Amino acid sequence: MHKVITKNGRVVAGIAGFCLILITLLWVRLCGQLKEDREETISTAIQRNANLAVALEQYAIRTINNADAVLQLVKKEYETEGNHINLQYLLDNHTVDTDLFTGVGIADEKGNVVAVNFSILSDTVVNVSKREPFYYHAKKPFGGLFISKPDLSPTLGKAVILLTRRINKKDGSFGGTVGVQIEPSTFTRFYAEANLRPHDIISLVTPDGITYSRRTGSVESYGENISKSPLYSHLKKAPVNNYFAKDAIRGIPTFFSYRQFKQYPIIATVGASEEDILADHYERAKRDYISTTVISVLIFLFSLLIVIVLLRRKKHLSRLRENEVKYRSVFENSLDAIVLLKPDGKMVSANKAASTFFGRTMEELHSSTAVELADVKDPNFSRLVTEGQQAGLAQGELQFLRSDGSYVIGEVASVKYKNALGETHCLVIIRDSTERIRLQKKLTAEQKHHQRQVTEQVIRAQEREREVIGHELHDNVNQILTTVKLYLETAYTHKETREELLPKSIGYLLQSINEIRNLSRDLSAPTLGTKSLIDSLTALVEMVQSSTHLIIHFEHSGYANNLQMDQKIAIYRMAQEQLNNVVKHAKATEVEVLLWQSETDTVLSVKDNGKGFDTSVSHSGIGLSNIISRARVFDGEVKIESGTGKGCLIEVSIPKEKSMHL
């Protein structure tokens, strides 16, 4: 009886150990997986913050540069014309974008505001001599551009950021200041439609810790003091970096990315709270913990069931035999090779999958040892078996040489266990991963090939863009500027021709400006981040129609569902490309542009009544090639119908669910 009890105790201990190993593996794997998921989630959020910081920096610099251009223009005009200057007329007749600021004003050497392009709150004379920008320029003849902190404007009655420059009299003495007023929200305006979370932070701050402009979720603010923020200790180490700390205003743990401007005393910061970033991670972790707990309980219950069966084997011998048949069926029908080895490495049992994997008959397997199996290719197999017997678990991926000379790669797991007699045995499971590795290599090769194709397309597109820019500058702008140069030289040497040639020169210069502006508009990406596709296409149609003799009909009533950003840009570019083809080659008078959607596709159609062309003849132009290439990126189709004297129809169909990022 004592012998039976001892034997049963060893069996229970062996099963308990095996159960513990499996459960430990599950939880170790889960913890590793959750750790990787957390790190990847944080890394992705930090990269998003860094990208937003770059965008914020670029937008702020463009806004400041545009305002400075206005300051330079008004300063030069005022130094020439004096109080006779008409600000509104000056701004209206120059290519100046005034949408980014709320007003332009001029103060004389005493600080009295003498000219503005907006209505002042009070009829009394406004004096700014006590304000920091005026004092700065009065004391520093070569101070350059001055950017103030947000403050209440005495002329507008609301908070603004004032950008100023010094005005000099003809003798070089101080003649006053010219200023541009920008509302703090202007710098974060392009995030107004972004899907910002409640704790997301976007801000521009001064080097001493005062916020120029700040957006927290949908709430805009300015003028906060964050001088005690860890941001400034990090700035001493690097002008561009990331860090994790509590938000200086709300005290919320946040991941920050920042960039210190090289041109101006401004720092761009973007932050996302730890809570928002890891919300989805915690939800996934919760589900994984629940599923792993359920599996662990099932394993435990299964092991407990086996122990109970073994302890009652005398009463349930017939049931054990039935179970043995079932387990044997699983063993034999498993797709993975399973090998049972004795402590000395001799084979106890092997399934049919093992025979197939090693390329040996069952008789050959049963007469082999682990060392003999390892010697066929990789002695590490013997090492994994030994480690599995000693440490309880060993894993690895090895290459084996079959008896027919072919190679096979297997994922090997070796587990120690004890049989009913208390003897240490080794369970070896080998999964054939040859096909998986082959497919992975094939997929990697295909991805590299696709990447090369994309790179080649990008390079070709860049070269074509450069060629277009060169032609436009040489054929249009260069010729016009050459004419202006000749007129100015003639007017300089022949005074009697000045009244005639100077107005012509100014007219040609304005024409050059318009040519360059049109070229910039054509090359710039459409503002589809803040405008809808319909609005962008409408603007494109109006621009082409206003600069040509074409009559363009744009119909979009069949367009209902919004598209992903890459699809909207592609459709806009294809419409732009075809309208450009019509203007240059078709000699048409009317164009019909249609945009609609079916259940599966978004369709763009451009039809003209021009001279058409023979579709059976190969053409060397790149316009149609660009349209076809853009459509193929989204698995789209392009239909071209044309004939000599019959006009041309281009119809592009793009599946709605396709995206360049998928």
Interval 488-498: pLDDT, tens: 878 778 778 87
Question: What are the DSSP calls for 502-567, one per residue?
Answer: HHHHHHHHHHHHHHHHHHHHHHSPP-TTTS-HHHHHHHHHHHHHHHSS-EEEEEEEE--S---HHH
How many Å apart are CA 418 and CA 416, to the nearest integer? Answer: 7
C-alpha separations of 647 from 266, 267, 382, 587 in Å: 55, 55, 77, 9
Helix axes 434-472, 498-523, angle to 10 degrees: 170
pTM, rounded to two decimals: 0.45
Q: What 8-state DSSP symbol labels residue 125?
A: P
As a whole number, the mean pLDDT across the chain is 81
Supply 239's token pair. 């002008």
Q: Give the pLDDT of residue 321.
A: 65
Q: At what angle do helices 498-523 and 479-493 cross, to 10 degrees?
A: 160
Give the dihedral sign, CA 140/141/144/150: positive
Q: Write the Ramachandran bin of 632: left for phi over 0, alpha for psi from -120 to 50, otherwise beta.
A: alpha
Mean of pLDDT values over 53-76: 90
pLDDT band of residue 461 (cuts 50, 70, 90) is low
Q: What percentage of the chain has pLDDT greater than the value 70?
A: 81
30 by DSSP, 3-state: which? helix
DSSP state of 497: G
Report the alpha-carbon angle 132-135-136, nearest 5: 80
Transcribe 210-230 into DSSP letters: BEEEEEETTEEE---B-TTST
* 260 token code pair: 């210190």
pLDDT above 90 as % of the chain: 31
Structure tokens at 302: 């299964």
Cβ atoms of 138 and 174 within 8 Å: the answer is: yes
Query: Binning pLDDT at 50, 70 and 90, where does residue 449 land?
Result: confident
The reported pLDDT for the residue numbered 250 is 87
The two tokens of residue 644 are 């000599």
Q: What is the pLDDT of residues 133-189, one digit of tens each?
A: 998 998 888 878 999 999 888 877 889 999 999 999 888 889 999 999 999 988 887
The radius of gyration of the chain from alpha carbons, rounded to an integer in Å, stands at: 38
The H or E element spanning position 363 is helix 362-366
* Predicted local confidence at residue 500, as pLDDT: 80
Residue 218 confidence (pLDDT): 83
586: how many CB neighbours lie within 10 A of its CB? 21
Burial class of residue 468, CB neighbours in 10 A (0-12, 13-18, 19+): middle
- Are 509 and 95 contacting, i.e. CB atoms less than 8 angstroms apart? no
- The residue among 658, 506, 534, 659 whose CA lies nearest residue 596 is 534
Residues 6+ apart with CB under 8 A from 117: 87, 88, 91, 103, 104, 105
Rounded Cα gap, residues 261 and 259, in angstroms: 6
- Residue partners of 432: CB distance under 8 A and separation at least 6: 336, 337, 357, 408, 409, 410
Q: Would you state the pLDDT for residue 234? A: 94
Strand partners, 594: 555, 605
> Of the candidates 187, 123, 203, which has an alpha carbon nearest to the alpha carbon of residue 155?
123
Which token pair is 398?
């090895």
Does the pLDDT of residue 374 top 60, yes or no?
no
pLDDT of residue 455: 58
Identify which has the larger pLDDT, 616 or 580: 580
* The domain made up of 334-432 is a member of CATH 3.30.230.20: no
Instruction: Check: CB of residue 378 under 8 Å from CB of residue 399.
Output: yes
Average pLDDT rounded to a whole number, residues 285-297? 92
pLDDT computed for residue 610 by the predictor: 93
pLDDT in the model for residue 380: 62
Q: How far apart, in whole angstroms, are the C-alpha atoms of residue 647 and residue 609?
A: 4
pLDDT for 239 equals: 94
Per-residue pLDDT at 371: 60
Give the per-residue pLDDT at 394.
60
- Residue predicted with more confidence, 488 or 320: 488
Q: What angle do CA 321, 325, 329 make, to 5 degrees?
A: 165
**HSE, side-chain direction, 13 A CA sphere, residue 126:** 20
Instruction: Please tell me the predicted confidence (pLDDT) of residue 597.
Output: 93
What is the DSSP-derived secondary structure letter of residue 598?
Answer: -
Other CB atoms within 10 Å distance of the CB of residue 318: 8
4 pLDDT above the threshold of 50: no
Residues 189 and 648: their CA atoms lie apart, in Å, by 42
Indicate if the pLDDT at residue 636 is higher than 50. yes
CATH number of 527-662, picked from 3.30.565.10, 2.60.40.1930, 3.90.1150.10, 2.90.10.10: 3.30.565.10
Q: Is 81 exposed, middle or buried (0-12, 13-18, 19+ CB in 10 A)?
A: exposed
Q: Could you give the C-alpha distances from 375 to 379, 427, 559, in angstroms and in order?
A: 6, 19, 68
Query: What amino acid is encoded at 87 in this protein?
Result: L
Residues 555-571: what's their mean pLDDT? Answer: 86
The 3-class secondary structure across 58-114, one letter per residue, is HHHHHHHHHHHHHHHHHHHHHHHHHHHCCHHHHHHCCCCCHHHCCEEEEECCCCEEE
CA distance 307 to 13: 9
% helix / strand / coil in the chain, to the nearest 5?
50, 25, 25
The pLDDT tens digits of the residues spanning 398-444 come to 777 777 777 777 777 777 777 767 777 777 888 877 777 778 888 88
